[in-house]
Amino acid sequence: MSIYVGNLSYEVTQDDLEDAFKEYGTVNRVQLPLDRETGKMRGFAFVEMKTEEEEDAAIEALDGAEWMGRALKVNKAKPREDRKSPGRGGSTRRY
């Protein structure tokens, strides 16, 4: 499982996030998605920790906390939904 961390400062780094979360346990991985077009931070990240208990402790402590001038949104990451664009494959519409 992993943790979703939203409303991040665009200045945050992977090291910043790892330092913030390691207070609550072992950080296995930090992922900072970048915008495909601009290459800039998208304002959210995913953090994976060693145990679910550590994740729960980090969520409890950091959700709503002010960090780098922003109120964090921290919760369990939800599985990515399959997003199909209209008109791409699978369409039964005929013209």
Rounded Cα gap, residues 94 and 35, in angstroms: 35
Q: Tell me if residue 20 falls in helix, strand or coil.
A: helix
Query: What is the pTM assigned to this prediction?
Result: 0.81
pLDDT tens digits, one per residue of 44-73 = 999 999 999 999 999 999 999 999 999 999
Alpha helices (H) in the chain, listed in sequence order: 14-21, 52-62
Q: How confident is the model at residue 10 (pLDDT cuts 50, 70, 90)?
A: very high
Instruction: Look at residue 23 in the predicted model and tell me its pLDDT.
Output: 97
pLDDT of residue 40 exceeding 80: yes
